Amino acid sequence: MMFKVNLQNPQPRLVRKTTEILEKGGVIICPTDTTYGIGCDLFNKKAVERVYRIKEAEPDKPLSFICADLKDLSTYAVGVSNYAYQTMRRLFPGPYTFVLRASKMVPKIMRSRRKTVGIRIPDNEICLSIVRKLGHPIVSTSVAQPRDEVLSDPEEIHARFGKRVDLVIDGGVLLSDLSSVVGLCGEAPVVIREGKGNVRFFLE
């Protein structure tokens, strides 16, 4: 199944249908501000396991999740410094994944061995509308498999993954680039991956 959703003004009916799929344990593919992402309800363990299988990712590879806004930080992250908060306030929504210490609200399957988690607030109204309607975060990992290119055309994504997921959301062709990943657990930021988001000021 595939929905064509308006990027600037996502149709409420389609957003509602998408959240109904997620609430039933479904897996979707949805655009972000970087790549199309494979996603599911953060709190549905079977759906998260299914995302790992579709992604063909190792179980110890941490997945990030999308929050609606910074109000969610206190629920899903602990020990957030003033510097970390101000950094995220300045750069979110945007093409970054910030790694923080996970709270006990984050399901165990989503925590790394270091008890950290990657949090995103993409600059994309489609995925943010879905998260807001669902009422809590969704898991999101790029639509690519090991040794494979990142896919940016929803028609191609549907052809390759349509039978493995419950819904592909067509938000147009993306100029895909992975998010920049920055660790904000310690006193100083750590650039883990340089992607679409500018990280030069972290390296100065």
Domain segments of the chain as ranges: 2-203
Looking at residue 43, the DSSP 8-state letter turns out to be T
DSSP SS3 for 203 = helix
pLDDT at 116: 94
Contact 27, 47 (CB under 8 A): yes
Q: Could you tell me if residue 103 is left (phi over 0), alpha (psi between -120 and 50 degrees) or otherwise beta?
A: beta
Distance CA(145)–CA(51), nearest Å, equals 11
pLDDT at 57: 83
pLDDT at 59: 77
Q: Could you tell me if residue 147 is left (phi over 0), alpha (psi between -120 and 50 degrees) or otherwise beta?
A: left
Distance CA(132)–CA(146), nearest Å, equals 31
Which spans in 56-148 are helix H? 73-76, 82-91, 125-134
Distance CA(168)–CA(138), nearest Å, equals 15
Q: What is the residue-level pLDDT of the chain in tens, covering all 204 positions?
A: 999 999 899 999 999 999 999 999 999 999 999 999 999 999 999 999 999 999 888 877 889 999 999 999 999 999 999 999 999 999 999 999 999 999 999 999 998 878 999 999 999 999 999 999 999 999 999 997 666 678 889 999 999 999 999 999 999 999 878 999 999 998 889 999 999 999 988 876
Contact 167, 21 (CB under 8 A): yes
pLDDT at 20: 98
pLDDT at 60: 78
DSSP SS3 for 198 = coil
Distance CA(196)–CA(109), nearest Å, equals 27
Q: Which residues pair with 39 in a beta bridge?
A: 28, 140
- The H or E element that residue 187 is part of is none
Nearest to 60 by CA among 119, 120, 109, 117: 109
Beta strands per DSSP E along the chain: 2-4, 28-31, 36-41, 64-66, 77-78, 96-102, 116-120, 138-142, 167-170, 180-183, 190-193
**2-203: CATH, from 3.90.870.10, 3.65.10.10, 1.10.150.20, 3.90.1150.10:** 3.90.870.10
* pTM of the predicted protein model: 0.94
Pairing of the two strands 28-31 and 2-4: unpaired
